[in-house]
Structure 1
């Protein structure tokens, strides 16, 4: 199967230990992910959001590291777990 790229907007809320991820939303493009993340960052209960992409082969489950497209608000500095 060919590689595909997923675009994602991921909001963050405040948890006991600081910022924690909330429910991610898959988007149709990089621009859509950035717009969604910007909206999420301004939504009540969220302290920030990021837009990122990941490419890989869903058939075998191998994906490259996430590529940060844009961050808004208060998000963790280490996003390597994306």
Structure 2
């Protein structure tokens, strides 16, 4: 089993839409949270999460929220709140 730590930030587009920036893979939970906290100061929204799974079977658990701040697309807010 492997665990990925990801930070996804969002920028506010010219017409008010949230645009996803390139996701950043972190080395661990603490690194993901620190990176997300720094990005939160300049981005419209940011979320950090982890996800564990088995690469050979392709089966992954639901994401675990590590950090969330600002405006996020509705589907991300709903998915992380569940």
Range into which the TM-score falls when normalised by the shorter chain = 0.7 to 0.9
For structure 1, the 5+ residue unaligned runs are: none
Q: Does residue 1:49 correspond to 2:46, yes or no?
A: yes
Q: Aligned with 1:70: secondary structure?
A: strand
CA displacement at 1:11 relative to structure 2 = 0.4
Q: Does residue 1:4 correspond to 2:15, yes or no?
A: no
CA distance in 1, matches of 2:71, 2:20: 11
For structure 2, the 5+ residue unaligned runs are: none
**Residue of structure 1 in register with 2:22 after alignment:** 23
Question: TM-score normalised to the size of structure 1?
Answer: 0.77
8 Å Cα contact 1:11/1:22 also seen in 2: yes
**Residue of structure 1 in register with 2:33 after alignment:** 34
8 Å Cα contact 1:42/1:48 also seen in 2: no
- Which structure shows the higher helix fraction? 2
**Structure 1 residue ranges (4+ consecutive) displaced by more than 3 angstroms after TM superposition:** none
Quote the RMSD (CA, aligned, Å): 2.0
CA distance in 1, matches of 2:6, 2:64: 10
